[in-house]
């Protein structure tokens, strides 16, 4: 019965009959839970999560993916590695695609920031690879970077698109976007610990950032990496109040803030990476549609280890 409903739902999904697909997948899910078949339950949740994504219901999709991921991870731990590992990778990719679609909602609010979230994610991932971080941290940084500005969807367009200098009151509203982003994700669990990096990507080394004024190593490494990528992309992109800086000028500005805004190791390694041409496809809106997915796919075959923790702690202030 579960298989029949699942297949019927999949066929309806492929034919664009979303309501019929959802009805059948809901019935398949309830039956799988009643008879206690974990594999089938996980499969149905993955199918329904994919359907919710297509229906433009990202938070419902994330809830189903979370449950499916947990089941498959448990099954893998129980020794069913061969039958679950590839599915786990496909779920992780679907997470990324959903995060990407959510990030594009931010970009649609202001054409001046079009592509910003994708570029920040690509640059942050390249920097994380430059630092030698391994699979789990690479995925954490990428996912958090995609969603780093998601809280801006709660900021009025009149503030985001304002051509003149923001008032103190308006700037305070802008500064709430990291906390708003975390609030939007409240109750959602992900395969990676992305929330600290989202919350703290505007913290500064000297404690003058926001929202909590964290200093030094109290700022999560992922947030420090995203900060570098975020500032660089902002400097090298056109804004309503100024034209884009050249790459060289942007790197010079960031070098001046090394040790105050930025962990001094990170701008140096970022500059080395840029000077070798490794970010050429990303800088100044030249990101190809699949650039981030190509970089992400390079992470899929790697597994985290104690080496990752050693690398993280070696990035000092």
User: What is the Cα–Cα distance from 216 to 262, expressed in whole angstroms?
Assistant: 9
The fourth-level CATH superfamily of domain 110-317 is: Hypothetical protein af1432 (1.10.3210.10)
User: What is the Cα–Cα distance from 98 to 194, expressed in whole angstroms?
Assistant: 14
Strand blocks (E) in 49-100: none
Instruction: Choose among 229, 59, 216: nearest CA to 148.
Output: 229
Q: What is the pLDDT of residue 284?
A: 58
pLDDT in tens, 112-166: 667 888 889 989 999 999 999 988 899 999 999 999 999 999 999 888 888 788 8
CB 128, CB 141: distance < 8 Å? yes
pLDDT in tens, 151-210: 999 999 888 888 788 899 999 999 999 999 999 999 888 999 999 999 999 999 999 999
Burial 168-186 (b: 16+ CB within 10 A, else e): eebeebbebbbbbbbebbe
Q: What is the pTM of this model?
A: 0.86
- Dihedral sign for Cα atoms in the order 312, 274, 104, 150: positive
Burial 190-200 (b: 16+ CB within 10 A, else e): bbbebbbbbbb
Q: Where does 1-109 sit in CATH, by number?
A: 1.25.40.10
User: Where do the structural domains in the chain lie, given as residue ranges?
Assistant: 1-109, 110-317
Q: Is 152 one of the catalytic residues?
A: yes
Asked whether the domain spanning 110-317 has the same topology as the one spanning 1-109, the reply is no
Of 5, 10, 152, 195, which is the active-site residue? Answer: 152
Burial class of residue 215 in the structure, from the number of CB atoms within 10 Å of its CB (0-12 exposed, 13-18 middle, 19+ buried): middle
């Amino acid at each position: 019965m579960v298989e029949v409903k699942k297949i019927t739902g999949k066929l309806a999904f492929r034919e664009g009959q979303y309501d019929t697909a959802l009805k059948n997948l809901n019935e398949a899910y309830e039956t799988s839970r009643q008879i206690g078949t974990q594999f089938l339950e996980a499969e149905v949740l993955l199918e329904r999560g994919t359907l919710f994504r297509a229906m433009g219901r990202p938070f419902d999709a994330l809830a189903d993916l979370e449950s499916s991921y947990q089941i498959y991870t448990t099954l893998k731990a129980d020794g069913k590695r061969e039958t679950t590992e590839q599915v786990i990778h496909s779920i992780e990719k679907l997470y990324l695609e959903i995060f990407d679609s959510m990030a594009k909602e931010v970009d649609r609010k202001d054409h001046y920031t079009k592509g910003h979230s994708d570029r920040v994610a690509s640059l942050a991932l390249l920097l994380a690879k430059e630092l030698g971080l391994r699979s789990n941290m690479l995925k954490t940084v990428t996912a958090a970077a995609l969603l780093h500005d998601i809280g801006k969807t709660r900021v009025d367009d009149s503030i985001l698109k304002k051509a003149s200098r923001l008032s103190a009151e308006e700037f305070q509203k802008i500064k709430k976007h990291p906390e708003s982003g975390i609030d939007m994700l409240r109750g959602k669990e992900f395969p990676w610990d992305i929330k600290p990096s989202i919350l703290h990507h505007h913290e500064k080394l000297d404690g003058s950032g926001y929202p909590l004024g964290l200093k030094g190593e109290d700022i999560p490494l992922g947030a420090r990496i995203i900060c570098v990528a975020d500032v660089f992309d902002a400097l090298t992109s056109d804004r309503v109040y100024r034209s884009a800086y050249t790459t060289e000028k942007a790197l010079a500005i960031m070098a001046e803030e090394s040790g105050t805004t930025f962990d001094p190791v990170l701008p140096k390694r970022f500059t080395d990476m840029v000077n070798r041409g490794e970010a050429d496809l990303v800088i100044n809106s030249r990101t190809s549609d699949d650039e981030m997915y190509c970089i992400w796919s390079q992470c899929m075959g790697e597994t985290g280890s104690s080496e990752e923790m050693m690398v993280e702690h070696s990035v000092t202030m």
